[in-house]
Amino acid sequence: MATKAARASRRSQPVGRRHPLATVALLLVGLLGTGGAYALFTSSATAETSASAEALVEEGGKLFAANCATCHGLDLEGTTQAPTLIGVGAAATDFQVGTGRMPLAISGPQAEQKPVQFTEEQIQALAVYVASQGPGPAIPADMYLTGEGYDVSNGAELFRINCAMCHNVAGAGGALTEGKFAPALADVTAKHAYEAMLTGPQNMPVFNDTNLTPEEKADIITYLKYLDETPSVGGFTLGSLGPVSEGLFIWIFGLGAIVAITVWLTAKSN
């Protein structure tokens, strides 16, 4: 009985799309197809960087379709997962992708920085593509990003008034609600700092050009650069966190050292 049944099943083995190996073949075709397409898209991105604006838009469109459209929609219209990108402009795209925040690594309270996923050229193509789909703030001109020739003390004052409540007065970062936070500002590039002010990424408010003029933004960038480049005059800063790290330091290392000394001084008689 058993052998008969086995023979019967062997005889009636399905062919064509019902063949047991059909799934494997299908998977292989699918993987090769998407992988090949991806390779095509990415390789074409590096190949045509010097191309005209139209080619750049087309290039960016392909990159967008491959990397961003899942959440933001094929026409930038947005989905339940992510907002529309129509009108966010080149600056927002350059900031989000250029700092590695996009593509999003994981859903969470806010997009966190991670190693940047694209080359400069690819980021530019994406930015140009997004800007082509609806006008928005453009990538800032280089003249505002030098950190030289601007008013550092005005920048410092503007920073204290507009930025310090979230980013901390020394740019050390700070907590927001529900696990969100304002990141530390050390070593943020001038371009990204400008774009952040201009577009208000994550929970940051927008500081448009009537709110803070381009010159004032440049002043702030000059101050940030000053903070980055000037060594602390007082010695190690303990993270620039103010009295909390100072208090911990004096209890653990200051008093700790002194208690160790007292133990040492009285050790003999014990």
> Looking at 177, 187, 210, 229, which residue binds other proteins (CB under 8 A)?
177
Residue 86 near residue 76 (C-beta atoms within 8 A): yes
Give me the count of residues in the chain: 270
Q: Which of 57, 123, 182, 185 binds other proteins (CB under 8 A)?
A: 182
Binding mask 230-269 toward other proteins (x if CB under 8 A, else -) reads --xxxxxxx-xxxxx-xxxxxx-xxx-xxx-xxx-xx--x
Q: CA 14, CA 264: separation in Å to the nearest integer?
A: 86
**Of 166, 172, 270, nearest in space to 224 by CA:** 172
Beta bridge partners of 205: none
Residue whose CB is less far from other proteins, 6 or 250:
250
The answer to whether 104 contacts other proteins (rule: CB under 8 A) is: no
Identify the residue among 125, 170, 185, 198 touching other proteins (CB under 8 A): 170
Does 65 interact with other proteins (rule: CB under 8 A)?
no
At its nearest, how many Å lie between other proteins and the CB of residue 36? 39
109-128 positions binding other proteins, by CB under 8 A: 109
Q: Which one, 89 or 155, has the nearer CB to other proteins?
A: 155
Q: By CB under 8 A, is residue 205 in contact with other proteins?
A: no
Which 8-state DSSP code applies to residue 100? T
3-state SS class at 196 = helix
Do 118 and 97 contact (CB within 8 A), yes or no? yes
Which residue, 80 or 269, has its beta carbon nearer to other proteins? 269
Residue 156 near residue 187, CB atoms below 8 Å = no
Q: Of the two residues 70 and 153, which places its CB atom closer to other proteins in the complex? A: 153
Residues 21-60, one symbol each (x = binds other proteins by CB under 8 A, - = not), give ----------------------------------------
CA distance 50 to 30: 32
Rounded to whole angstroms, the Cα distance separating 199 from 137 reads: 7
Nearest to 199 by CA among 99, 103, 109, 125: 99
Work out how close the CB of 140 gets to other proteins at its nearest, in angstroms, rounded to a whole number.
22
Residue type, 38: Y
Q: Which of 55, 66, 82, 169 binds other proteins (CB under 8 A)?
A: 169
Whole-angstrom Cα distance, residue 149 to residue 219?
Answer: 9
- Residue numbers of the site for other proteins (CB under 8 A)? 109, 152-153, 155-157, 160-161, 164-170, 172-179, 181-182, 223, 226, 232-238, 240-244, 246-251, 253-255, 257-259, 261-263, 265-266, 269-270
